Amino acid sequence: MIRLFIRIKKGFFAVRFRMLWLIPVFINLCWNPCFFLPVKAAKAAEHSENQVQKQTSVKNTRINLPDLSVKHSSEQPLKIHDGPTGTLLKFQVKADFLGTFKPEIDIFQNINSEIDKPFFSSSSSSNKSDNRFEIVRLEQKLNDFNYGLEYRYVGKNLDYINRYKKNTETKTRVDLENDQEGVEIWGEKKIRSIGLKTFFSRFFDNVDRDPMLPRMLAHKYGLEMKYKMDLLPICFSFSHSREESEDTFESQGSEYQRKQKESYNSSLQYDGGNAFDVTAFSSYSFSHDQFNPDKETEIFRHGISSSIRLASNLSIIPTLSLGENRYLRYGEREKNPSASLSINYCRIFDVADLSLRGKYSQTRNTDRSLDNERLDTSIGLSWNADHLFFRKIGYSLDLGYNQYFDKIHEHNSSNSLSALFKLEFQL
What pTM was computed for the model? 0.66
* pLDDT at residue 361, as a whole number: 97
Quote the pLDDT of residue 33.
44
Identify the burial level of 150 via C-beta atoms within 10 angstroms of its C-beta, where 0-12 means exposed, 13-18 middle and 19 or more buried: buried
User: pLDDT digit string (tens) for 374-407?
Assistant: 999 999 998 877 766 766 788 889 999 999 999 9
Mean pLDDT within 287-310: 88
Strand blocks (E) in 126-257: 133-142, 145-154, 180-191, 194-204, 216-228, 234-247
Which element (helix H / strand E) includes 193?
none
Q: What is the pLDDT of residues 339-367, one digit of tens each?
A: 999 999 988 888 889 999 999 999 999 98
Give residue 383's pLDDT.
Answer: 86
Decide if pLDDT at 210 tops 70.
Answer: yes
Amino acid (1-letter code) at residue 38: P
In terms of average pLDDT, the best of 14-28, 64-78, 93-107, 130-144 is 130-144
% of the chain surpassing 70 pLDDT: 74
pLDDT of residue 303: 97
239 has a pLDDT exceeding 90: yes
pLDDT at 48 exceeding the cut of 80:
no
SS3 48: helix
Q: Is the pLDDT of residue 25 over 90?
A: no
pLDDT at position 415 is 95
Cα separation, 336 vs 359, whole angstroms: 13
Question: Are 167 and 80 spatial neighbours (Cβ–Cβ below 8 Å)?
Answer: yes
What is the mean predicted confidence (pLDDT) over 175-204?
91
Distance between CA atoms of 215 and 179, rounded to whole angstroms?
11
- Whether residue 252 is predicted with pLDDT greater than 50 in this model: the reply is yes
Taking only the tens place, the pLDDT of each residue in 255-285 is: 667 888 999 999 999 998 889 999 999 999 9
Instruction: Name the residue with higher pLDDT: 205 or 427.
Output: 205
Mean pLDDT, the chain, rounded, equals: 78
Highest mean pLDDT among 88-97, 164-173, 280-289: 280-289
- What pLDDT is recorded for position 36? 41
Question: Pairing between strand 371-385 and 392-406?
Answer: antiparallel
CA separation for the pair 30, 26 (Å, rounded): 7
Report which DSSP code applies to 419. Answer: E
**Amino acid found at 253:** G
CA-nearest of 101, 46, 91, 53 to 70 is 91
User: What separation in angstroms does the CA of 234 have from each of 26, 98, 123, 230?
Assistant: 37, 41, 52, 8
- Please report which confidence band the pLDDT of residue 100 belongs to, taking 50, 70 and 90 as the band edges: confident
Q: What is the pLDDT of residue 249?
A: 67
Specify burial of residue 107 (Cβ count, 10 A radius: 0-12, 13-18, 19+): buried
Q: What is the structure's pLDDT at 85?
A: 61
Buried b (16+ CB within 10 A) or exposed e, 292-302: eeeeebebebe
pLDDT(185) > 80: yes
Alpha carbon distance 156, 179 (integer Å):
4
Residues 166-190: what's their mean pLDDT?
A: 86
**pLDDT exceeds 50 at position 227:** yes
Q: Give residue 202's pLDDT.
A: 93
